[in-house]
Structure 1
Amino acid sequence: MNGALLTASGPSPLWYATRASGTVSLVLLTAAVALGIAAAGKYAPLRLGRFEVSALHRNLSLLSLAFLGLHIVTAITDGYAHLTWPTAFVPFVASYRPLWVGLGAVALDLLLAVALTSAVRGRLGRRRWKAVHWLAYAAWPVALFHAVGTGTDTRLSPQLALYGACLLTVVVAVWWRLVRAGTQADRVRRWATAGTLLVPATLVAFLAAGPLQPGWAHRAGGTTQAPATAPSTPHPSPTPQQHPQQDEHEGDDAE
């Protein structure tokens, strides 16, 4: 009986769908960014034509946006975090973890700018389109910190390994591009070096001081009012026995 009650009052399937779709979207975005950096244009592998590389890059990007859309829809529909459509597009206005949800909104806006300008690429011209296209690369670290800061799934070893793999993939892609470019990349090499050192160092420091420490769900602003399935109580900090769904949500937050 107690097990059935806990199952009924646990997080909804939408909550798990939100976390899963966010993780898949980040993995696909990482693959698209790494491919765009390392193998696009004249640096494409000899066995692949530029058309095949461009098509793969475009399809990865579209799949990432599709899973991102699912991530947003399930997060809003689930209702636990009280997110709305404006909070998905307007940064830092959400009541639930405003900074970290806001970073997700920033990443979404940057990716939408890339997608929309790609649709009118012929009218913009290659130089203007390419300038906007760089926003996709800026969106990737923002999306990574959104994922790390929004959920305490980060404390799980598989999730940490996944974030580390994403980070390593992009760093390797940057240095592969620089090596292939040779002396032509001298003017950007110092900036690339700084970036490939700064982002991992910042991420490690943030993990050590934030998500990996006890009480991160509270400090990140992740407390919300109890779900409708739980009885109301005047106490601000209900026990897990009183509100098992809230305890589960705060212990395993969405990406």
Structure 2
Amino acid sequence: MTTLALTGSPLWYAGRAGGTLSLILLTATVVLGIASAGRAAPRRIGRFEIALMHRNLSLLTLVFLVVHVVTVVLDPFVHLSWAASVVPFGASYRPLWLGLGTAAFDLLLAVLVTSALRLRLGVRRWKAVHWLAYAAWPLALFHGAGSGTDTRLPLQLWIYAACLVSVPAAVWWRLAKAGPGRVAGRLVGAVAAAAVPVALTVFLAGGPLQSGWAQRAATTAIQLGGGG
């Protein structure tokens, strides 16, 4: 696994760099969206500036995500088709973990398309779809950890750790600033924010950080489907 990370093609490096940068930017976008919503919005910065920054981060995330997808498809090692880049779990290489990334990509594309049609859809429908961006974040995390051949590298682990700390911290900060009311919703948010770091930590310890993970990851979807 480490040897591949050190001797990969330029497309491999571009793909991994694009994926890592898009994960960092997605995390920043989610953190900004959570921390600036509702009554938790900062008072010293205008909502227009916050919305502009949020939009620019979202677009930059999609730019690097497209770079990631294109370079991975063009990389001859993975043998990923263009169809598999938009249809989840259709790849032959690490199908489950690549499928999670494809699902995250599709969710973000849905957010992009509905944002362009926001005036026609209405605010309520647009917000309902916009929540998909939050679902894309854990999918992207597990995709990167499960499919990345450099997951065991210290720098990559530090990046995952920073992402895992940032989003739950933003959730808990917003819940603390939200004031009374909606106890059930706040409890669900707090539990969900704590569950993702715990789940990914357990997954890393029992999966990608163990020897032989590359072989197990390649057949995970087949085992789950009951095939041979």
TM-score normalised by the chain length of structure 2 = 0.91
- Hey, what's the Cα distance between the residues in 1 that align with 2:149 and 2:194? 25
What amino acid sits opposite 2:20 in the alignment?
A: T
Which residue of structure 2 lines up, in the alignment, with residue 3 of structure 1?
Answer: none
Deviation at 1:98, TM superposition (A): 0.1
2:179 alignment partner in structure 1: 182
Residue equivalent to 1:89: 86
Q: How does 1:10-159 map to 2 (within 5 A)?
A: 10-159=7-156
Letter in 2 for 1:72: V
Equivalent pairs, count = 214
Which sits farther off after the overlay, 153-162 or 62-71?
A: 153-162
- Equivalent of 1:203, from 200, 204, 216? 200
How far has the Cα of 1:40 moved from its partner? Answer: 3.0
Distance 1:154 1:75 in 2: 16
- Quickly say closer, same or farther: Cα 1:194–1:42, change in 2 above 3 A: closer
Residues 193-235 of structure 1 deviation map (CA, whole Å, 9 limit, x = unaligned):
221221111111101110000011111108xxxxxxxxxxxxx
Q: Alignment RMSD, CA only?
A: 1.4
For residues 163 and 77 of structure 1, what CA distance do their matches in structure 2 show? 26
Compare CA radii of gyration and give the structure with the larger one. 1
Distance (Å, rounded) in 2 between the aligned partners of 1:44 and 1:206: 34
Cα offset, 1:184, TM superposition? 3.3
State the TM-score, normalizing by the size of structure 1: 0.81
Contact 1:178 1:185 in 2 (8 A): no
CA–CA distance in structure 1, aligned partners of residues 15 and 95 of structure 2 = 17
Question: Gaps spanning 5+ residues in structure 1: where?
Answer: 1-9, 223-255
Distance 2:166 2:196 in 1: 13
| Whole-angstrom distance in 1 between the partners of 2:141 and 2:98 | 12
Q: Is the 8 A contact 2:29 2:54 kept in 1?
A: yes
Unaligned runs of 5+ in 2: 1-6, 220-228
Q: Is the 8 A contact 2:73 2:80 kept in 1?
A: yes
Which runs of structure 1 show a deviation greater than 3 angstroms over 4 or more consecutive aligned residues? none
C-alpha distance in 2, partners of 1:79/1:209? 29
- Deviations along 1:135-175, one digit per CA (max 9) or x if unpaired, are 00011000110011011311111111110100110001101
The residue identity in structure 2 corresponding to 1:52 is E
CA distance in 2, matches of 1:98, 1:205: 21
| Aligned partner letter, 1:59 | N
Instruction: Find the counterpart in structure 2 of residue 219 from structure 1.
Output: 216
CA deviations 1:89-109 (Å, max 9, x no partner) are 101110000000000110011
